[in-house]
Amino acid sequence: MRSTVVLLTVSSLAASALAATYPLKDSFVGKGFLSGFSHEAIADPTHGRVQYVDQATATAQNLTFASDTSFVMRADDTTVLAASDAGRKSVRIKSNAAYTTHVSVFDIRHMPQGCATWPAAWEVDEANWPAAGEIDILEGTNDIEPNQMTLHTSPNCVQPASGRTMTGSVVSTNCDTNVNGNQGCAVKAPTANSYGKSFNAAGGGYYAMERTNSFIKIWFWSRNDASVPADVKAAGSSVNTDSWGEPAALFVPDTCDIPSHFGAHNIIINLTLCGDWAGQAQFFNTLGGCPGDCVTYVNQNPSAFSDAYWDIAGIHVYA
């Protein structure tokens, strides 16, 4: 019986290495973000010191800017806040379309950096969380490198602590939002330039996520990495993930049935400040080396957020 279980596990891990060719479904570049995504003027679910604004406010106050080739979204960097104010104005956008089996490719020139920042690019069904799962592709806090890639799910979804073919390192293995303070099952990227200041210093880079009923994979390539696949560097009519090499993170179905834990997802890109993760003392003071209390820092130091912006060259979805 034990040998049978081992064989099944090995078989499942091997099957998860398979990939496919996907045709282009949606492409968002520049002003295409204004029609393909919606600004979410909602209370921050992660309790950050932000006030998410609608599209009209964001464009009027230059918190959102779109040209033919670039989409920029950022936090306000001029206003000193009183304790009674709603929070520093920021932007959160969600794709109008939702996706199941697909590949999403993110071409990002710059991501928010600085103390108190908590930027994320992720996929989720907000109305059915956590039952429909969550895939965090690019996320971190307080300039703490490298990137962390995480699944959050309903119960009965865990990941192996070893044996996965990926370049990243395991942080945690239980994806269930009800345990470990909703840490999820996380994998850290192998290189510092996958996040924050080092990511930006290298001119940004490319993230790609492939989701099937058998596995979820996430790749990262720095901007000038010689190994960036041609179909990632220049969006075309299709992508072939067989040519992309070993992913930074691989999530397998051995002890997590993917179809029953993940539904149709929207793409979300946001920047919050402080909140449930970035504002915790162990992150803000000890690891991030940032001064004082997070909320006070955000209120009193607007110029500290001059680099707290996204500059996205494009997001391309293949399905």
pLDDT tens digits, residue range 268-281? 999 999 999 988 76
Instruction: Tell me the catalytic residues.
Output: 134, 139
The CA–CA distances, whole Å, from 153 to 39, 125, 184 equal 25, 11, 8
Give residue 288's pLDDT: 59
44, 84 in Cβ contact below 8 A? no
The CA–CA distances, whole Å, from 298 to 50, 105, 133, 183, 290 equal 9, 32, 31, 25, 11
Residue 62 has pLDDT above 60, yes or no: yes
| Domains of the chain by start residue, with CATH | 23-318 (2.60.120.200)
183, 172 in Cβ contact below 8 A? yes
Structure tokens given for 202:
């290298």
Confidence of residue 36 (pLDDT cuts 50, 70, 90): very high
Give residue 9's pLDDT: 40
User: Considering the chain, what percentage of its residues have pLDDT values greater than 90?
Assistant: 88
- From the list 139, 122, 117, 121, the residue with the least C-alpha distance to 274 is 117
Residue 141 has pLDDT above 80, yes or no: yes
The CA–CA distances, whole Å, from 193 to 190, 232, 249 equal 9, 18, 16
Bigger pLDDT: 128 vs 19? 128
Contacts of 292 (CB under 8 A, 6+ apart): none
